[in-house]
Structures are given as structure tokens and as C-alpha cells.
Amino acid sequence: MEFTEIILISIGLAMDAFAVATCKGLAMKKMSWNKGIIVALYFGVFQAIMPVIGYCLGINFQDKIKNIDHWIAFILLTAIGINMIKEVWDNNKEENNDNVDFKNMVVLAIATSIDALAIGITFAFLKCNIYISAISIGTITFALSLIGVKIGNIFGCKYEKKAQILGGSILMVLGLKILLEHLQVL
């Protein structure tokens, strides 16, 4: 996998965290950089750790499913992308607040990084450098989350849906690209 693809996957994965961070910023009466950095750290760290965990799981099963790994990558990326886009129309969202305590942030960080666990499994099948990938995912998520808090504080949740649609679309296109390359169509 090329570095540009890792960057695009990183951006796609960061969109959930960006959307939640935007709403965290919306809930702040006045922008708090301390809270913004806390939000960004939780999301960035969890987004970096989860693919490593997924990679370790995937590496253990790699030999058993080598012949269908490209299909698994396609299905996982497409399913994650579809789910992100589907969540745009989910009306069961919790009311957002600016609370950044451990319990609140861990729940949000896990919820926004489950997709990264599945991506880690995909990275194992594609023999990606997990360290570069995890650092890229964590760094981009941190940066976009911090930006999201600021944007949310200024504009509100106006761009949340667009960010999720963009992120989901990126993941689905990359999944299709992986499949087509392995089928030697591209």
C-alpha cells in the first residue's frame, strides 16, 4: 500500500472523530484549547492503537485466508464506509456536551475508533507497515479532532454530516481499489 493511500485511509478514519470533536466544540460556550487538546489526544491515541491491535489479530490469521484477503479488505472498508454514511441519518444521537472526563472520553474514543481496529486487520492482509500507518492515523486524527473542536465552537455541527459522508466515501473507494488491483483489473 502506498503512503498516499495510508494518508487517505487516515483521513477517512478521522472523520468520525472530527464529527464528534466538532460537536464537542459546539457545546463549549467559549473555545477551550485545553479541552480541545484533551479531545484530540483521546481520539488520536485510540485511533493509533486500534489498528495495531487489529493488525496483531490479522497477522495470526493471515496464512489461513491469504487467497481471499483482498475480498476481506474490500468488504471491511466498504462496510465501514457504508456505516459511516448511514450514521448521517441516524436520529438516535446523544446530546453533546463539553465534558472531557475519562469515562466520557474513553467511551467516545472507543466508539470512533472501532473502524480503525478493522482497518488494522486489513493492513495485516496487505502487509502494510503498521507503525507508519498507526502514526499517520493517530496524527491525522489528532489534528483533525483539534480543528473539529475549533470549527464546532465557531460554526456548530454544520459540517458533521458532510465529513462523515466524505470519510465513508473515501474508505469505500479505497476498498474497491484494493479489490480491483488484486483482481488485476487496475
The full set of domain ranges for the chain reads: 3-182
Cβ-proximal residues to 79 (8 Å cutoff; 6+ apart), any chain: 118
Alpha carbon separation from 45 to 42, 58, 109, 134 (Å, rounded): 5, 20, 9, 9
Q: What is the pLDDT along the chain (186 residues), one digit of tens a residue?
A: 789 999 999 999 998 899 888 878 877 878 889 999 999 999 999 999 999 999 999 888 777 776 787 788 788 878 878 887 887 787 655 555 678 889 889 988 998 888 899 899 989 988 899 999 999 999 999 999 999 999 988 875 566 677 778 878 888 888 898 889 888 886
Query: CA end-to-end span of the chain, whole Å?
Result: 14
CA atoms within 13 A on the CB side of 96: 19
Cell of 109: 474514543
Cβ-proximal residues to 181 (8 Å cutoff; 6+ apart), any chain: 70
- Is-contact 156 31, C-beta < 8 A? no
Q: Look-up: residue for cell 488484486?
A: 182
Angle of the 3-27 helix axis to the 130-155 helix axis, nearest 10: 30
Entry pTM: 0.75
